Amino acid sequence: MSEWIRVEDRLPEEDEDVLAYIQDGYIKVACPFYQIDGGKRWAWFGGDYMYENVTHWQPLPDPPELPADE
């Protein structure tokens, strides 16, 4: 598993799904969506929600390997 990356250190590519750690303790799948407050903060989109207090992120893990159909 990857290490958590502080959003102050680096952001993922725009529209890249990642695991996002939100300031209130939740971990969600989200992607950086657009800048707010004149570019000082990023909003993160996850499903029907927008998260503004993301403090850390990491790439999604690889999916499991599924057995081949026989």
Pick the CATH number of 5-59 from 3.30.70, 2.30.30, 3.40.50, 2.60.120: 2.30.30
pLDDT at 37: 67
pLDDT digits (tens, 9 = 90+) for 16-68: 889 989 988 989 888 776 666 666 666 777 877 788 788 999 999 988 998 88
Strand segments (E) across 1-70: 5-6, 18-22, 27-36, 41-46, 49-51, 54-59
pLDDT at 1: 56
pLDDT at 32: 72
pLDDT at 41: 64
Domain assignments of the chain as residue spans, ordered by start: 5-59
pTM (global) more than 0.85: no
- Per-position b or e across 43-70, b if 16+ CB within 10 A of its CB: ebbbeeeebeebebbbeeeeeeeeeeee
- Sort 21 into a burial class: Cβ within 10 Å, 0-12 / 13-18 / 19+: buried
